[in-house]
Structure formats: C-alpha cells, structure tokens
Amino acid sequence: MNRREMLKASAAIACAGAVNPSVFGFASGPKNKIAIPSYLQGYEDLYAIDPRQAALKYFSAAKFGLFIHYGLFSLLEGFWKGNHAKPAEWVQLRGKIRVREYEKLSAQFTAKKFDADFITDMALDAGMKYINLTTRHHDSFCLFDSGFTNFKSTNSPAKRDLVAELSEQCQQKGLGFYLYYSHGRDWRHPHAPNNDSWGGAARPKYDPPEAYYKYGEEHDLQVYVDFMKKQITELLTNYGPIGGIWLDGIGTPLSQPQKIDLFKVQELYDHIHSLQPQVLVSYKQGLLGTEDFKAPERHFKGTSEVPLEICNTLQPYSWGYDKNDSLGHKTADDVMTMLAHSEKMGANLLLNTGPLPDGSIHKNDIITLREVGKRLRNK
C-alpha cells in the first residue's frame, strides 16, 4: 500500500467509525477500543459518544497552533515589477497581475526545502498542538493533488502533494491538522465572484477586464460553488483525519448579505460534518453564526459564544513571505505576550510563518519558536 492509499484508507476509517486502531494516525482507547484520530488521544470516551464535541474540547485546550501561508505568492516575495504589495500573499491583486501571467509562476515552484518532518517537529518543540496550512489561497493555486484543476503543486516542477506530506507527519506525531481554504475570494476561477456583482476585493481591478473570467449571463456562481464543494470533499477524503476546515474570503459574501445564500454555506458545513464527524468548521469571525469556532485576526476585541482562535504573524505584518517585511520578526518575548493575551481572552493563538520561496522556514522564526518552547516547558 503506497502513501496515497494509506491516507485514503485513513479517511475511510474516520468516516465509518471503524473499531480497529491503525497506522494511519488513529489510536485506540484503552476502554472502548474505538479508533480515533491520533491528535484526539485522551478524548476516547467523549469521542465514542460525540466526535465533534471531543474535537471541540481538544481545540479549546490546545491553546497554540502553527499557521503556514505558502504558495505561488511566496515566489514573488511581496514584489511585482518593483512594486511592493502588502500583504505579500495579495500580490496578484495589488499588482493586477493577469491570470495567464500569474500562472507562469507555477513553472518555478519547486518547494525543494519544504520539509514536513522538520515543520512538525518545530511545532511540537514550540508547544504547539496543531497546524493549519493554506491548501488553496485566493490565487487558487492548490498545494494538493486536486482532480478538478491543473493549477496545483503536483503539476509544477515540485511534483509534490504538500498537504499529503504534512498530513502524514501530523498523524504520526499526534498533531491536529487543519486546512485553510479560500472560499469567498478567488482570483482565477472563471465563475468565482466578480467585482461588478460583489464589489470590494473580489477580483483584481483589471483594465481592460480580464478575458479569463466569465461575465454577465455567462457567469454562473453555482459552477464555482460546486467546484469548491468537490475540492473540499477531496481534502476530507484523501488526507486522513482532519481537525478542521478553515474558510477565508469572508469579505466577499459579506459585501452582499442579501446574496449570501447563493454560496450555499450551511449546505457545505453539513457536507463537511457528514464526511468526517469530528471536523470543526470556521469562517473567520463567523459568517452564518453556525460555525464551530471563530478565527479573527490580530487585534480582535469582541467576545465569542463558541471557541475562539486569534490569528497573528511572526513577520511584522504579512502572512505570506515578504522580503520587505523581513526585518523585525516577532521575538520570543512578543510571542509570550501574544499567548498571555490570547489566554486572557480564553482563545487559542494561531501563529503564522510564511515560508521562503523554496519552502524553508525563516531562520528568525525557527529561533523564536525554539525559545518559546523552552519557556513554555519551564512555566
């Protein structure tokens, strides 16, 4: 059985509630013998009754996770033709890079130093309990082997499925694995929301209009909604037990509240839960109010009736690697302050690193996280 088959078998076990422990990232409870995702060890009794409640208790107790923003945008380091885009992962929109021009970057994507083994060890050493990876950001480039697009890492010189690699390591080491997926905002798919209907930053403001997109009567949002559901189904079928689906792009549907129903978001949530019952769903600060947890950015000052996760960066500002934002990475003191603030709010801290173009972790982030781990162990 190859790795791909192993990961598919793992997902099948999660969905079926199989009773045999396996090497796919599941562990058997000492009392009830039910196989559960490896990151949920210690929650066997509750998992046997309600997998999602077990996952919620785990998440609430986790406190600290690693966010990873990596993709084609990383190659540009925040710059396009000498102009700086802020944040760096928005370089296609800020630089108004045409779809066909931007896709040429995939020919340079090697991820030669993306090391899932190192990343997971780094997270564990820092005291982190879970990892969240950008499987597909707003540029629509996929870090997994999707059957519904050719715009993906396995179709680049890297020829690698980074989601599979990180999933395998998380399962082996008992880390929760959460998947970022850009939902409301897509700068490539022909039928994703257009500026003329949704406004804001739904698309780059091209002049003349981008010929790759569909407009008017030719545009069908349902085609895009179906595409997203198919890809999320892949992520929950091919990569073993998943901790959560973390949706982004909330500004687009929120710009037209009267049309939110067109995205069929609740239907998607229900579909996610049907595929893997322990999976938690988040959509930033909450789109419908039926999400399992909220995940606002940085300086959130509100309250939450569901578990809360505060997202922040190790770079001064950008999430994706930004060469111009590379000085002043957060120190261990900074991170400990953020952790204390999150704890005071009853929230987790999801701390982001933006790997360099080759996929390696910035040396300053490695140093900071190593020191944070030492301090947490000595508390």
> % helix / strand / coil in the chain, to the nearest 5?
40, 15, 45
The pair phi, psi for residue 11, each rounded to 5°, is -65, -40
What was the pLDDT predicted at 329? 96
Tell me how many degrees the CA angle 315-135-206 measures, rounded to the nearest 5. 80
Q: Which domains does the chain have, with CATH numbers?
A: 51-378 (3.20.20.80)
pLDDT digits (tens, 9 = 90+) for 119-165: 999 999 999 999 999 999 999 999 999 999 999 999 999 999 999 99
Q: How confident is the model at residue 34 (pLDDT cuts 50, 70, 90)?
A: low
307-331: average pLDDT: 94
> CA torsion, points 117, 122, 125, 130, in degrees to nearest 10?
-80
pLDDT digits (tens, 9 = 90+) for 212-228: 999 999 999 999 999 99
What was the pLDDT predicted at 327? 83
Average pLDDT value for the chain: 92
Give 34's contacts (C-beta < 8 A, 6+ positions apart). Answer: 17, 19, 28, 44, 47, 48
d(CA 328, CA 143): 28
| Cis, bond preceding 190 (omega within 30 deg of 0) | no
Distance, first Cα to last Cα, the chain: 44
What was the pLDDT predicted at 326? 76
**How many percent of the chain have pLDDT more than 90?**
87
- Region for 26 from its dihedrals, namely left if φ exceeds 0, alpha if ψ lies in -120 to 50, beta otherwise: beta
For the chain, what's the residue count?
Answer: 379
Q: How confident is the model at residue 299 (pLDDT cuts 50, 70, 90)?
A: confident
